[in-house]
Copies of this chain bind each other. A is one copy, B any other.
Amino acid sequence: MDNMMTAKIIDGRKLSKEINHATAKRVQQLNQNHIFPKLVVVLVGEDPGSQLYVRMKNRKAKKLGIQSDVKHLPDDTSEDTVLKLIDRYNQDNSIDGILVQSPLPEQINEDHVISRIDPEKDADGASPFNVGRLAINDEGSYPIACTARGIMTMFKQYQISLKGKNALVIGRSKIVGRPMVNLLMNENAQVTNINKFANDTSAYTRKADIIISATGKCHLLNKNNVKPGAIIIDVGQNRDENDKLVGDADFDDLSSIASYITPVPGGVGPMTIATLMEQTVEDAVRRHK
A interface list, Cβ under 8 A from B: 111, 114-115, 126-140, 163-164, 172, 174, 178, 181-182, 185, 188-195, 197-199, 204
Minimum distance in angstroms from A32 CB to a CB of chain B = 32
Copy tally for this chain in the complex stands at 2
Question: Mind listing 9 A-B residue pairs with CB under 8 Å?
Answer: A111-B133, A129-B129, A132-B133, A134-B135, A135-B135, A135-B178, A137-B178, A178-B182, A181-B185
Chain A facing B: main interface SS: mixed
Contacts of A139 in B (CB 8 A): 111
User: Smallest CB-CB separation from A163: which chain B residue?
Assistant: B197
Q: How far is the CA of A199 from the CA of B163 in the complex (A)?
A: 10
Minimum distance in angstroms from A207 CB to a CB of chain B = 8
Minimum distance in angstroms from A125 CB to a CB of chain B = 10
Q: How far is the CA of A66 from the CA of B197 in the complex (A)?
A: 42
- Contact between A192 and B195, CB atoms less than 8 A apart: no
From B111, B137, B140, A138 is in contact (CB under 8 Å) with B111
Contacts of A134 in B (CB 8 A): 135
Contacts of A172 in B (CB 8 A): 185
- Contact between B197 and A188, CB atoms less than 8 A apart: yes
- Contact between A197 and B111, CB atoms less than 8 A apart: no
From B129, B164, B190, A128 is in contact (CB under 8 Å) with B129
Q: How far is the CA of A111 from the CA of B140 in the complex (A)?
A: 9
- Contact between A185 and B192, CB atoms less than 8 A apart: no
Contacts of A137 in B (CB 8 A): 174, 178
User: Smallest CB-CB separation from A207: which chain B residue?
Assistant: B203
- Contact between B190 and A197, CB atoms less than 8 A apart: yes
Q: How far is the CA of A195 from the CA of B127 in the complex (A)?
A: 27
Q: How far is the CA of A127 from the CA of B138 in the complex (A)?
A: 11
Q: How far is the CA of A165 from the CA of B204 in the complex (A)?
A: 13
User: Smallest CB-CB separation from A130: which chain B residue?
Assistant: B132
Contacts of A190 in B (CB 8 A): 192-195, 197-198, 204
- Contact between A199 and B164, CB atoms less than 8 A apart: yes
Q: How far is the CA of A260 from the CA of B164 in the complex (A)?
A: 30
Q: How far is the CA of A256 from the CA of B199 in the complex (A)?
A: 27
Q: How far is the CA of A73 from the CA of B193 in the complex (A)?
A: 42
- Contact between B131 and A135, CB atoms less than 8 A apart: yes
Q: How far is the CA of A133 from the CA of B129 in the complex (A)?
A: 8
Minimum distance in angstroms from A203 CB to a CB of chain B = 8
Candidate in A139, A195, A204 with the most chain B CB atoms within 10 angstroms: A195
- Contact between A182 and B135, CB atoms less than 8 A apart: yes
Q: How far is the CA of A204 from the CA of B207 in the complex (A)?
A: 11
Q: How far is the CA of A133 from the CA of B139 in the complex (A)?
A: 19
